Amino acid sequence: MSEVLVVVDAVDGAIRKPTLELLALAKKLGDPSAVYFGANDSAVTDKLKAYGAEKIYVVDDAEIKGYLVAPKAEALQQLVEQASPTAVLVVSSYEGKEIAGRLAIKIDSGVITDAVDIEDGGVATQSVFAGNFTVKGKVTKGTPIITVKPNSASPEETAGAGTVEEFAATISDAAKTAKIVASQPRKATGRPELTEAAIVVSGGRGTGGDFDAVEGLADALGAAVGASRAAVDSGWKPHSFQVGQTGKTVSPQLYVANGISGAIQHRAGMQTSKTIVAVNKDEEAPIFELVDFGVVGDLHKVLPAVTDEVTKRK
């Protein structure tokens, strides 16, 4: 079988979960080969191997580390020319999509962004128009490049051969156009990242700006906290918390919407969650059309009671 390149999304050597999801999807298309930009570190390569990487290309280059996306796209172009993969899979992050676009131009290929599934044969599924249409598409020119949304597949802990190969890329001056001048890790909240969390507890205008009950439940469940746009526009939470069409797309195992009416633009960011629970004091709220479980009540009373119960059962 031929190789499928999976571009590793990692921060300071910590591989993010969406990469492990891509390795699982890549197996449908061929043999997963991870491409890691960073030092040859066994903690990294062992993990990629454990989740199915047959081969791991380590690209350790100061020129790549010091600059934004362009040098990575150039290195990938050279790797694609060497390995002739069946496809290149990239996480649908801002950086991932820029890498995909730049690479597509360089290798004269088609690109599909924000896929939520990939079938054998390279047919990618996208969820468009706020989740109202599902589109299946296939790249017809060159090596397909597909960016995949986080939480679109489950990581599979099935070891691959994990052969490590150092790849020396040649980075041109033309690619060194945007230098990193400072980088700061996200402020540690102790909570999982919103798009990667298995459980998301969100609050909307119905919180009245008091997120204590929402955050209490989130912490009891080990969940991330999300917010509707109304809550963000009111200044109660920063935009990085927003779930929806103009915010983040989440697809956790469990999504708990509290004081959120269920506008189409909010649904666009959460309706693919596996189980949806809503707490809303209005039994006519549209969110109840898509829930698995609904509670009609005041979130400030319901959530502390649920939090107590969850804490008791731990």
Annotated binding site for FAD: 205, 228-229, 242-246, 259-266, 280
Nearer to ligand FAD, 33 or 261 (CB): 261
Nearer to ligand FAD, 126 or 265 (CB): 265
**Is 216 near ligand FAD (CB under 6 A)?**
no
Considering only the stretches 5-13, 61-69, 161-169, 201-209, report the one whose residues sit in contact with ligand FAD under the rule CB under 6 A.
201-209
Q: How far apart are alpha carbons 285 and 261 in whole angstroms? A: 5
CB 237 within 8 Å of CB 211: yes
Q: How far apart are alpha carbons 37 and 65 in whole angstroms? A: 8
**Is 89 near ligand FAD (CB under 6 A)?**
no
Of the candidate residues 246, 275, 289, 311, the single one contacting ligand FAD (CB under 6 A)? 246
**Is 261 near ligand FAD (CB under 6 A)?**
yes
**Is 176 near ligand FAD (CB under 6 A)?**
no
Q: Rounded to the nearest 5°, which phi and psi values hold at 217? A: -65, -40
**Is 237 near ligand FAD (CB under 6 A)?**
no
Considering only the stretches 99-107, 148-156, 161-169, 198-206, report the one whose residues sit in contact with ligand FAD under the rule CB under 6 A.
198-206
**Is 263 near ligand FAD (CB under 6 A)?**
yes
Strand pairing category for 145-148 and 111-119: parallel
C-alpha triplet 136, 139, 142: angle, nearest 5° = 170
CA 14 to chain centre: 15
Taken as a whole, the chain contains a residue count of 314
Task: Name the token pair of 249.
Answer: 């797309």
Task: Name the token pair of 111.
Answer: 């690109």
Residue the block writes with tokens 């047959």: 54
Of the candidate residues 34, 230, 254, 276, the single one contacting ligand FAD (CB under 6 A)? 230
Of the candidate residues 228, 249, 271, 273, the single one contacting ligand FAD (CB under 6 A)? 228
- Neighbouring CB atoms inside 10 A of 281's CB total 15
**Is 78 near ligand FAD (CB under 6 A)?**
no
Considering only the stretches 2-10, 67-75, 114-122, 224-232, report the one whose residues sit in contact with ligand FAD under the rule CB under 6 A.
224-232
Residues at the binding site are: 205, 228-229, 242-246, 259-266, 280
CB 201 within 8 Å of CB 218: yes
- Neighbouring CB atoms inside 10 A of 263's CB total 17
Q: How many residues bind ligand FAD (CB under 6 A)?
A: 28
**Is 44 near ligand FAD (CB under 6 A)?**
no
**How would DSSP label each residue in 251-305?**
--SEEEEES----HHHHTTTTT-SEEEEEES-TT-GGGGS-SEEEES-HHHHHHH
Give the per-residue contact string, 268-307, with ligand FAD (x = CB under 6 A; - = no). -x---------xxxx--x------------xxx-------
Q: What residues make contact with ligand FAD under the rule CB under 6 A?
A: 204-206, 228-231, 242-247, 259-261, 263, 265-266, 269, 279-282, 285, 298-300
